Amino acid sequence: MKKKIFLFLIIVLLVESVAFYFYVKYTRKKLREAETNLKKIELLNNEIEKCHELLSKKTGSFAEYEYCKRLLQTFEEVK
């Protein structure tokens, strides 16, 4: 009887260990994705700041103005 209980506890422990391993793996993957998305958001915010600065000045190329205009219009639609 004790052997059966011991074997059952070992099986439960193994199942819980495997479940915990996959939980940690999934959580780490989601954290990496979140960090990547935060970096992308940071880059986009920097681009928007540059565009605001460029559009407030009198000098700049037509291509820069068009790029910034499209970028800012895109973000206005999202909001």
How many structural domains is the chain composed of?
1
Which domain covers residue 42, as residue numbers?
2-78
Percentage of the chain beyond pLDDT 90 is 48
Helix ranges restricted to H, the chain: 2-56, 62-78
Total-model pTM: 0.62
User: What angle do the packed helices 2-56 and 62-78 form, to 10 degrees?
Assistant: 130
Angle (nearest 5°) at CA 34 between 31 and 36: 110
The residue among 76 and 43 whose pLDDT is bigger is 43
15-28 per-position pLDDT tens digit: 999 999 999 999 99
36-46 per-position pLDDT tens digit: 999 999 988 88
